[in-house]
Structure 1
């Protein structure tokens, strides 16, 4: 039975949910203002297996999220939407000491037993390292993880939304709010008035509090500003390079046609500020150029800024919103949003169709972070 479904938020979570719902024949309306998407400011490395985090539920989510890309890209291709936004190009991990590289190497081998997608793992030096990434400098050794991937979230989201419209969905670049009638019916408030849906998915990330607080909820979600810089080089072989993950915050992502992305920043004190800040991006670029000197000649093609969503314990959540019928939400993905976001979007689409999620929602409970005032 066809349902009329609203998706508020057109980032990677909302776009994936909308794609699978529209693909299944539902009438989908996507609402997004176009401002501050976390997806736009995500560096886009898919290599979650090396994390030191000990949260098993989080690790399962990101590990299965990395594997889900195969299904997502295959589904898009079967629908006629091929994209080069994603590539399993491998990852190079740089460290300040040989001990650090060895530690990450051993962790990768241990986790590969349950995550074969990691692929081959090797410490590269000398000629091997130069062959893997010719422009790389000031580095004596690096760990190569073959299963690492890169994704341009901005481009992938555009492709997903194109597929949504192909299947009859509509995209609305506008800010909306929610209203609840006396009988509990939830409506999407647009400029032309309230609109009712059979189900509503809230994929607004760091803006989830602004949607739910007027309905009497407290939401344990805060924003974190992220900036990344898109550089244009003359290196036409860049699509063959692995991504670079130095020890620290920033990453380096070579794409095709000479494009390289540097980022992203993690600015807890700026939250929802969407203005570019050279005092943050300039040091990022300076650091990037120590490893890739050819970036000194690169032109800045774009600066992307967005706001990530974090919970107080850094755990993501998704599922039904307590007290709101046929309303589903996800948030708190933090810096792993591009890794887990597509899978979570798919899970929300399943829930909105009355199906069960393959990941237990009780492991990522909405009710732990979204609470009705007075309850």
Structure 2
């Protein structure tokens, strides 16, 4: 029996737990202190193909992360869980200078051969948009990609853990050395997986590690509309404010990107008001709507905005991952599966050398 401890039950930890639980001879224990989970601050948009980032390793990870979702849905279904968290309803991109949409189309067409999941690519008029998302205004045309998707991170995490038959132990654990072995609250495990996001530095500090990861606060407003929003597309104007419609009238607006708030989880009405003001020219109804709630979480960023995963330096039995940033829901499930495979000594679709832990985690 291989005993595995997973510290952190966000999207990465939950996915790793699900895949490890499907293996014979593997016993999984999940710990989570239940505070500030980045999945709560993720807007829930799966649409990485239109990014202008030139980091090839990052884009490959993001592209494969989006591609992985249909496989994840199939694996959950095979395990007896029909997921309600992910759905391809398309994505609409809006630009203040609409001639820039031509550049978006050009970049998308260049990537479409290797990314067929992005689906049909079209320019839509305002009337066409109104048919799919009534009330949108402030533009003459939009860029449409049918393969864009929405995902409810909190729902997906719950589904993954339920399918794994696991209930996280709600506690903040401590790591200590026993010779050259890492212990979790004094207990020895065959393998340890640290999926603690922005808290990785705090978790590893007692072991003498320094970690290049900083926290970024994210806030999202949730609304309940008296409309059938099941097939509404995601709307992505320029700026931080995006509209993510879910089923049964649920609508999310966000998310903020606050780099100077540390681990603060308090609601900031000024920041939330800015999100509303950014969206108001495109969806005026947002100014008259009352939010039903606010979600706040902490994302993890490295100094060069690149994620990393793999075993700790000189610790082949302790694996980690962090630095996912605002693409956590896009790349998190794939990384969770890759980590599960790595812990089992199997090869995945990614080369950890392209996302080296030792660049961001060091020990004197």
**Is 2:183 the counterpart of 1:187?**
yes
Structure 2 stretches of 5 or more lacking a match?
none
- TM-superposed deviation, 1:288: 2.3
Alignment of 1:280-295 (within 5 A): 280-295=271-286
- TM-superposed deviation, 1:170: 4.1
Give the structure-2-normalised TM-score: 0.97
In the alignment, the residues of structure 1 paired with residue 188 and residue 30 of structure 2 have an alpha-carbon distance, to the nearest angstrom, of: 14
**Is 2:2 the counterpart of 1:3?**
yes
- TM-superposed deviation, 1:127: 2.5
In the alignment, the residues of structure 1 paired with residue 348 and residue 276 of structure 2 have an alpha-carbon distance, to the nearest angstrom, of: 41
SS at match of 1:5: strand
- TM-superposed deviation, 1:332: 0.4
Contact 1:7/1:201 (8 A) holds in 2? yes
Aligned to 2:259: 268
Contact 2:306/2:324 (8 A) holds in 1? yes
In the alignment, the residues of structure 2 paired with residue 163 and residue 4 of structure 1 have an alpha-carbon distance, to the nearest angstrom, of: 19
- TM-superposed deviation, 1:179: 0.7
Aligned to 2:196: 204
Aligned to 2:172: 175
In the alignment, the residues of structure 1 paired with residue 337 and residue 330 of structure 2 have an alpha-carbon distance, to the nearest angstrom, of: 13
Contact 1:39/1:154 (8 A) holds in 2? yes
SS at match of 2:172: coil
**Is 2:222 the counterpart of 1:230?**
yes
Give the structure-1-normalised TM-score: 0.94
Aligned to 1:118: 118
- TM-superposed deviation, 1:360: 0.5
Structure 1 stretches of 5 or more lacking a match?
none
Alignment of 1:1-375 (within 5 A): 2-25=1-24, 26-165=26-165, 169-182=166-179, 184-189=180-185, 194-235=186-227, 237-373=228-364
Cα 1:366–1:120, aligned 2, differ >3 Å: closer, same or farther? same
How many pairs does the alignment contain? 363
Per-residue CA deviation, residues 70-118 of structure 1 (Å, 9 max, x unaligned), is 1111111121211221101100001001221111111111110211111
- TM-superposed deviation, 1:126: 3.6
In the alignment, the residues of structure 2 paired with residue 259 and residue 145 of structure 1 have an alpha-carbon distance, to the nearest angstrom, of: 22
